[in-house]
Structure 1
């Protein structure tokens, strides 16, 4: 339905915005023409062939009178008009390259007299004989003379001796009434406005207005808005001056002829292009400009003149290929665009609409054999100002939109023109229905249709005006009758008769279909519906019983219906119900990998249980069949019935000591019987102790079966009434229900603690985890000793152990600080072993004990000695044997010739000092044979040599 109404509006708007038909015939371009009397018809009989400027005029019935390119004038018979002296009218001082070479203006109070205003240019075609810029001139034509009219006077110069400076721009608009017309042109920074009245053109007294903007070029169009309030000019520059041309907007006073503003620059050539054509929409609310971006781009922009910042409303309507071209409003309400060398015109179909709703057709009218050029014929802009039709009650303008009236209401339509001597003829859909200025319509009296008023002016102007409006009657919304809205008063003063109402709850009962509907509520005294009530939180203004008005409006048609609604206050007070106890939730409940419980501090409650409790305690007065039970968190929510707690109740979480309000009302009705309150008390989960870092169970090494050792796992919650369940690796341990469990094997122990609260049916449960791992003292498996290396520091001992512990090692110590953790757990190698007896200790880092090895003997046969008394290797001996590990030592020393020179048999001997029989032997190598027997009788033999060094 909305789309159909919009289509009708677009069609009717295009038919209803003109009041005169003087602009109904166009000739332009290269033998192109259009007849707008009815559906536009292509004309091919024109004699005009022009590059830019052209002008046409018809009589008030739309019959062609004559047309011109500013140089020649052709009659309605398409013959050249003549001067009164018989000379052909082919030398008017326009120019084929002047943007607005000619403009035809009728004399305000003489239907036979017309004026042609011409503007020339600097361009002089070869051998044309045109003078260089003849400036601004006008000619007088009497259409009652000759065969279609004669030029009876002219040219009359209006250039004020500034011919060569004059621009190519001219426009016209009606003055304060139909007896005056203003013709405007511009030169550099000066606007010239000439008044035309019953005395003709006042060429001696132009109204001159200075502009802060100075024209950069003479080309481009000048237009006045149809309502006579705005002037726009396009300053077209090309070539090296492209960056200078602008679109400029001014304010205009059609009473005084003055430009009343300094001018607002609307475009930037470097971004938008340079402007050429300009035009206003019929309602004078939008401005359009055509701009050219070299070498071949044609654009149309819209500006919203109703906006405070017009510049910011710039919107691109269309962009395509083409040269500079004109824009011109036609009597069908469309703005046509001319792109040179085309066989068609483009059109803005709905120019008064906002940019986002504009429809532009690049090919709107086929010109047949005719071809476009840059220009289109300008007219007095007032031709296109519509006669506005008004709503007599509100003074709202009806004729600029499709009007929707409401069935059941009556409307008075009046035209804005109100001259007592004028005659009015109203018709509907082409049938005459009334002859009064005011027309009263309703759905039964005339109804939907196209209404047109024809105004015959009997004043001095003797003109005919028309106005049209499409009216569609639409039904008002239907409102259902509802029962009174009864609210419980349970605040601190339940007997004062005042309560809060949520009026929005009534909406679904008031209308069956709320789509595209607005519902508002008002006090019954607010007959103008100026102060809508707060529908979500309304307090009755009159105690106990009160009435308000609901207004239901169709958002598309704006038709509305009203109804009175009764409000009542029930002084119920607040009932109190028993509190409810719940267990807090476990934050880790949904985490399958969790090892312990975390209380959330909140929980949920199944309110269906509370409903049943309330019903059971009502003695049969309540049931779920007859009543609704609604739960809320606050008293205000319960009163306004907002934020209701709804299933699934798991979604609503409550902290300890939370209030809950239950509203009880009759089933399916807005009638509150009572409101009750209770609290929700959240009980803590019993969280047992645990140890995720691990408990150590020390076992024997090797491990015995059965394993006799255990470790106590204490999960005590601190509550003596709690009970427990124990699990080992996921398997229940039977009959273990105490807080402490003695674990005798490694594994993951889960403990669950259960607590029974008096008012909670299901025990609360929390859990924790112990990780138990076994460890033991190390068992020494092997010790490997390497001694008597080339350097005593190279001696080493490697130990290997067995066990399930975490082991570290120490040499010749059991102090904790001396133990070292190696790269391997079950083996370690010590280096730099000192000669003598050594032992190794192994400590379990889990605390299961220290074990030490037997003594390990490490010996070293010296490779040299230096008997110089410095205390370092002053004698030669076997190091590491001066202990109880060896029982017998026998060492023989020989010189290089095999002669025995010394013998050592005492393991505590200080060593050979390099003297033989009192003689100090020289530096040399000496040999030895050694035999060692330990206390177990094991013999170790060694043969080698050493050096005696004298320093």
Structure 2
């Protein structure tokens, strides 16, 4: 709320601050105008001026319009064309509405009836308007007491020094060192011309020239002097956007440019500067630029107080559109012409830093009239306020609403000091003093708008004013607090010096620290130049000492001070019994954790220690009368920082940690004693476990009761540890040893408990065993398929039962020969060789191998080739030459049914294709076979085969 009030007062103050009303009325653009006489600019619609750029207006010291001009025409306050003394109409001056600053009106410093119009032309020749080719730099003299609004009594007088065509479109003016002279300044090429005006008129014969190393690229763009008369800003506008903004130093006592010029813009990227303007306090410079590539109108700010002004360039506004002028108003705002708009833009707070600038595009309505490119220039000194100074601080008070503090007295006076001048002070319009200096406090005058009027004793008889809004605000209230007593328990507990944390006092010193700055100083530091380190301050006087606290309101800057007493008590460290805690389990927060992992740290419930200390104090201590604070280091305990606070689970300690307890009177910074103890962290037991799974081999089929067991060994290595066993979450009654013989599958959790003499609850560690059951396979079926059309198609299918993980091998028990099938309980072997075969099944969990009985596989050959090559030279039944078969009878017939051979020996090498010594030809032959196995089963088979001769 205070900030809002101060801002509102600041706006009111800035509107009322300056008495120079010669710049109260403006005419510009397409018949546009504004009037500042009410304090807020109001649109005028009676102007006859219609111009692209150049325009100029002047009022009297009371803000009444005198006349205005576009550099060609001059209109009186009655909006009629002014006349020359000889009766001619004043419609042919040597300016040009298309010239940037076609005209500038300057009063005679000491004759209120005499004014001068300075005109600059342009190379542009207006079609059908009779505008002359650039006539250079000229001036005219006007007497406003003549005629019905003034007459031109002389002119033009050419000041162009023979450089008419080259002359720029720039002209500005500023007051000299005192009110009796004014400098009018213009430039051609690289040379500035300054003409002094005093009570005798314009000294046009003796211009002050200043050559610069900077040559103009073009004639267009504004020229302005800072209100304090120290700087000159030149906008060198070019159509291609490559122009420059140049800043010069100016001496308003000599009229000389005193520097070569500092280039502030980069034309290729920034655009071409057109308008320029200074803030009232001459601390900020603004430039308006047009960038042709992006068709954008931009405004930049420069901080003139910075050592590297060019580097402070900051864009504060941009939008699409053509170039426009900037002009300071009597209200302290800088106005921007935005071509083609029915309003003016405004920089609301030109004195602020760029990041805080507020630009309002439609700040002033022009009614039905339209702005063009130009705005009327004035003598820049019109906008320079009389500075009011706070004598104690030498601070300029005009810049903003001034907050003074209730209870303090202030002396203010104007910077302007002439013993012959007359000074009159007003508060809220009522005269209160007639002295140069004014003493103000909250009782003699109080809050209000203070104004000093200075009647100049010089011949110019000017009246200068300065105003400042003053608001008295209360100082912060400081509560009375008791002496800050600190225990001296450092390396020298009797020297009377120790550390204080003054910051702890702040909550008691003020009821609400919002928007307050609290600082502490040695009492001898009366200028408050060296704030103490309030977080860690060591007293400079032994035992009893005091410091000063300064509490400042950050908004009002009002402050209050008080003295804080400090006292040091010689205090040694009291040793308390050490504490022991069990190590924390890192896996405690993991749901269904299988094992514990020691963290090497733990926490401690300090409320237990507090009760222990109270119990041992013989009634001297209690939680009602004393505060007990715990810290990790002596420094923390001394400064009362990083206190260990509930919930204590958040404060973790490693083994052999120090803890310090500070005991003080309840609700006071009065240290009674400091003690220390250690925290020892005891390791939790580490029982063994096995999460990969242990195999318990059981019978197949599983017997009931199941007789087999597997030993689970959880031994921690500490014989005094106590154990509990759980199966699938249920306690196993009577299982209290480090080892347990498990006889079933499941999840076995073991807890190990370790007692410690100084810990009430035993330390707990746990682990888990996963036990899985398995067994040998039980063969339930073997199916053999043989005697196929192709020997490779013979196969054996085996099916088993069991709970193991099985793999299969043919005619082998070597581990490398076992293979795992797609299904656990059956497997099919293919490409079975003729003869006796067996299948072995292995439990991959290690519960053994089972092998089937021998399986007979036979094959009746489909052809043979008795050519003596050792391959298929005979025909026989393959796979019967073993103990499985007892009797074999095979008869062979030709195609006509004639018996041509008979085999009765199972080891017979086979028929060789010869009958009674005759080699039989290639042909099909038939067989009839009967096979008797050891089980007395007869297998019969008939078929045919082919004898091939190759």
TM-score grouping bracket, smaller chain normalisation = over 0.9
SS in 2 for 1:756: strand
Residue deviations 1:654-702, cap 9 Å, x none?
Answer: 1111111111111011011111111111111122211111111111111
Distance 2:729 2:340 in 1: 91
Partner residue, 1:23: 23
Partner residue, 2:129: 128
Residue deviations 1:9-44, cap 9 Å, x none?
Answer: 11112211x353332343444555544444456656
Distance 1:388 1:708 in 2: 110
SS in 2 for 1:506: helix
Would you say the 8 A contact 2:241–2:291 is kept in 1? no
Would you say the 8 A contact 1:406–1:473 is kept in 2? yes
Partner residue, 1:749: 748
Partner residue, 2:257: 259
TM-aligned CA distance change 1:795 to 1:74, over 3 Å: closer
Would you say the 8 A contact 1:890–1:906 is kept in 2? yes
Partner residue, 1:99: 100
CA shift at 1:779, angstroms? 1.0
More displaced stretch, 902-911 vs 143-152? 143-152
TM (norm. structure 2) is 0.94
Distance 1:610 1:853 in 2: 75
Would you say the 8 A contact 2:422–2:455 is kept in 1? yes
Distance 1:35 1:794 in 2: 115
1:464-483 to structure 2, matched below 5 A, reads 464-483=463-482
TM-aligned CA distance change 1:301 to 1:853, over 3 Å: same
Would you say the 8 A contact 2:242–2:271 is kept in 1? no
1:503-514 to structure 2, matched below 5 A, reads 503-514=502-513
SS in 2 for 1:382: helix
Distance 2:801 2:29 in 1: 112
CA shift at 1:832, angstroms? 2.2
TM-aligned CA distance change 1:69 to 1:942, over 3 Å: closer
**1:72 matched to 2:73:** yes
Distance 1:473 1:385 in 2: 26
Q: CA RMSD of the aligned region, Å?
A: 2.6
More displaced stretch, 834-843 vs 618-627? 834-843
Distance 2:444 2:74 in 1: 52
Partner residue, 1:56: 57
TM-aligned CA distance change 1:138 to 1:858, over 3 Å: same
Residue deviations 1:501-527, cap 9 Å, x none?
Answer: 110000011111111111000111111
SS in 1 for 2:756: coil
SS in 2 for 1:3: helix
SS in 2 for 1:897: coil
Partner residue, 2:277: 279
1:313-712 to structure 2, matched below 5 A, reads 313-315=312-314, 317=316, 324-339=323-338, 345-365=344-364, 372-712=371-711
Residue deviations 1:632-657, cap 9 Å, x none?
Answer: 11111111111111111111111111
SS in 2 for 1:194: strand
More displaced stretch, 119-128 vs 830-839? 119-128
**1:151 matched to 2:149:** no
CA shift at 1:616, angstroms? 0.6
TM-aligned CA distance change 1:854 to 1:14, over 3 Å: same
TM-aligned CA distance change 1:474 to 1:883, over 3 Å: same
Distance 1:683 1:749 in 2: 26
Gaps of 5+ in 2: none
TM-aligned CA distance change 1:831 to 1:321, over 3 Å: closer
More displaced stretch, 928-937 vs 263-272? 263-272
Would you say the 8 A contact 1:234–1:248 is kept in 2? yes
How many residue pairs were aligned? 947
Distance 2:365 2:92 in 1: 32
Would you say the 8 A contact 1:485–1:671 is kept in 2? yes
Partner residue, 1:141: 142
Residue deviations 1:386-405, cap 9 Å, x none?
Answer: 11011112211111111111
Partner residue, 1:288: 286
TM-aligned CA distance change 1:702 to 1:135, over 3 Å: same
TM-aligned CA distance change 1:88 to 1:856, over 3 Å: closer
TM-aligned CA distance change 1:332 to 1:779, over 3 Å: closer
Distance 1:916 1:47 in 2: 147
SS in 2 for 1:9: helix
Gaps of 5+ in 1: none
Residue deviations 1:140-196, cap 9 Å, x none?
Answer: 334455665443432221212221222222111123333432212223444333333
TM-aligned CA distance change 1:522 to 1:936, over 3 Å: same
Partner residue, 2:818: 819
Would you say the 8 A contact 2:454–2:465 is kept in 1? yes
Partner residue, 1:8: 9
Partner residue, 1:161: 162
More displaced stretch, 686-695 vs 548-557? 686-695
CA shift at 1:879, angstroms? 2.1
Would you say the 8 A contact 2:779–2:798 is kept in 1? yes
CA shift at 1:787, angstroms? 1.9
TM-aligned CA distance change 1:56 to 1:702, over 3 Å: closer
**1:855 matched to 2:864:** no
SS in 2 for 1:526: coil
Partner residue, 2:904: 905
SS in 2 for 1:89: coil
TM-aligned CA distance change 1:811 to 1:369, over 3 Å: closer
TM-aligned CA distance change 1:418 to 1:835, over 3 Å: same
CA shift at 1:262, angstroms? 4.5
More displaced stretch, 71-80 vs 127-136? 71-80
Partner residue, 1:184: 185
Distance 2:358 2:873 in 1: 118
Distance 2:944 2:360 in 1: 119
Distance 1:78 1:919 in 2: 154
SS in 2 for 1:130: coil
Would you say the 8 A contact 1:175–1:254 is kept in 2? yes
CA shift at 1:913, angstroms? 2.7
Would you say the 8 A contact 1:19–1:387 is kept in 2? no
1:31-50 to structure 2, matched below 5 A, reads 32-39=32-39, 48-50=49-51
Distance 1:636 1:663 in 2: 11
Would you say the 8 A contact 2:241–2:290 is kept in 1? no
TM (norm. structure 1) is 0.94
More displaced stretch, 434-443 vs 103-112? 103-112
